[in-house]
Amino acid sequence: MDAQLKEELLRKDRQYVWHPFTQMKDYETQDHVLIERAEGMFLYDADGKAYYDTVSSWWSNVHGHGHPRIKEAIARQLEQTDHVMFSGLTHRPGIELAEKLVEIAPQGLHKVFYSDNGSTAVEVALKMSFQYWQQIGRKTKTRFVFMDNSYHGDTIGAVSVGGVELYHALFKPMLFRAYRVPSPDARALGRERTPEREAALAADALEAVRALLAERAEEIAGIIVEPMIQAAGGMVMYPAAYLAGLRELCAQYDVHLIADEVATGFGRTGTMFACEHAGISPDILCVSKGLTAGVMPLAATLCRDGIYEAFYDDYATQKTFFHGHSFTGNPVAASVALASLRVFEEERVLERAREASAALAEELRSIAVQPHVANVRQLGHIAAFDLYRDAASRTPFPPERRIGYQAYLAGLEHGLILRPLGDTLYYWLPLCVAKDQIRDIVARTVKVLRSLDRAN
């Protein structure tokens, strides 16, 4: 792109655009990176500089950017239909994708309700669960339970079941009341972190859920969780036994288990869905981000037959699920999702990803030995670690250092898109990442860490 056009666009960006999760004043003295092209693992800026997309463009991209099968699916579907509404009308991509999702999802989830982003997938799940209990006559079951540290989206319902103070505290007066249970966040163990202690922490956290349900199950409609990884809450990874325990408790106390796999779905943790690590099936499942390989906005909320049946009756009984979005089941997005799932099968994506994640585990060792680094953790293509001023004593950097933000800036210098959560750095790698790219990404990250150390 020529320099003049670039300058003009960046000036207009400042003049007209308000970016998400961004303090715009940070951009008084620096430009947004103006991306002109995306291909495979890389984003290219207006000067042609390449950056590794180590966060999969906000945890969405699955097969790398510009996958030919995905591009072809968009073009082909646009020849047939652009957007058509999904109420009173239906279409082949919407039907075939629902069939495919039912086939690959954890067992027992047989109905698919579409929406268009992760937050709406969660809103649908909450309303579906709430209305279910009303319609089977258990009208006191109206409340939800969420985990400390959880994140389920930015709409008001989703924020009401969110456990990250930074995103939620201000909005409290707008939110509905919900019960919070502890997160089995092993970072609390500091240097004492061992698998046994993590297991004990998870058992304690489960005990808190049991106590709540024992006392209040008659008020509670469902528990919503991010399976295996609390992503936005700081890439908190917890043992599968916790999830398995939640499944048992929900069955025992007649409470819906709502699995929010908006982030973890579609291979990122090493299995198609993170629930598979615990061998469990939720009552309601939310998917979005990776559903279309991260290329088009689309979401789905899957549920068990029993839930669907509570809504299925003569119109006059007023059991209809009155919920829907303009872009529900967009056919172009659904075609892309189908193409992505075909890529999973034909390119044996999960099988090949296993080798890459083993390579990532190897490479992470060179990060673990860097100063300021602690709590290195990994599941599949997701890896994270925390920065401390003194890692041994887990003394944090002072917040005004904005060390995570400094790492983001240094990452750009070194050709990496990093998007730290506070002082937590992470990779959320596309499944197409090659072993030599992993080596290169980690080597560049080590340079970023050294540059922070020097600046310290």
Ligand X SMILES: *Cc1c(COP(=O)(O)O)cnc(C)c1O
Give the nearest distance from C-beta 116 to ligand X in angstroms.
Answer: 8
Give the nearest distance from C-beta 297 to ligand X in angstroms.
Answer: 7
Give the nearest distance from C-beta 154 to ligand X in angstroms.
Answer: 6
Quick one: which of 58, 12, 49, 48 has its CA closest to 297? 58
* Residues 444-447: contacts with CB under 8 Å, at least 24 apart: 444/52, 444/411, 444/414, 444/415, 444/416, 445/367, 445/411, 445/414, 445/416, 445/418, 446/366, 446/367, 446/370, 447/414
Give the nearest distance from C-beta 351 to ligand X in angstroms.
Answer: 25
Tell me if 391 sits within 8 A of 374, measured CB to CB. Answer: yes
H or E element, residue 422: none
Give the integer Cα–Cα distance in Å for 40 and 76: 21
Give the nearest distance from C-beta 262 to ligand X in angstroms.
Answer: 4
Give the integer Cα–Cα distance in Å for 177 and 150: 15
Nearer to ligand X, 288 or 357 (CB): 288
Tell me if 431 sits within 8 A of 268, measured CB to CB. Answer: yes
Instruction: Give contact residues for ligand X (rule: CB under 6 A).
Output: 117-119, 122, 151-153, 226, 231-232, 260, 262-263, 288
CB-facing half-sphere around the CA of 41: CA atoms within 13 A: 18
Give the integer Cα–Cα distance in Å for 33 and 18: 15
* Helix, coil or strand: residue 73: helix
Residue found under tokens 């999830």 = 243
Nearer to ligand X, 236 or 310 (CB): 236
- Residue in the shown chain whose Cβ atom is closest to ligand X: 118
Kind of pairing, strands 299-304 and 109-115?
A: antiparallel
Nearer to ligand X, 226 or 363 (CB): 226
Give the integer Cα–Cα distance in Å for 437 and 435: 5
Give the nearest distance from C-beta 60 to ligand X in angstroms.
Answer: 8
State the helix-helix crossing angle for 195-216 and 240-253, rounded to 10 degrees. Answer: 10
Give the nearest distance from C-beta 122 to ligand X in angstroms.
Answer: 6
Nearer to ligand X, 232 or 373 (CB): 232
Nearer to ligand X, 176 or 312 (CB): 176
Give the nearest distance from C-beta 234 to ligand X in angstroms.
Answer: 12
Nearer to ligand X, 98 or 287 (CB): 287
Q: DSSP letter at 398? A: P
Give the nearest distance from C-beta 163 to ligand X in angstroms.
Answer: 12
Give the nearest distance from C-beta 230 to ligand X in angstroms.
Answer: 8
Give the integer Cα–Cα distance in Å for 164 and 387: 19
Nearer to ligand X, 117 or 424 (CB): 117
Nearer to ligand X, 288 or 378 (CB): 288
Longest dimension (CA), the chain: 71
Q: Which token pair is 321? A: 């699920």
Nearer to ligand X, 122 or 452 (CB): 122
Nearer to ligand X, 152 or 372 (CB): 152
114 DSSP β-pair partners: 300
Q: First and final CA of the chain: distance in angstroms?
A: 36
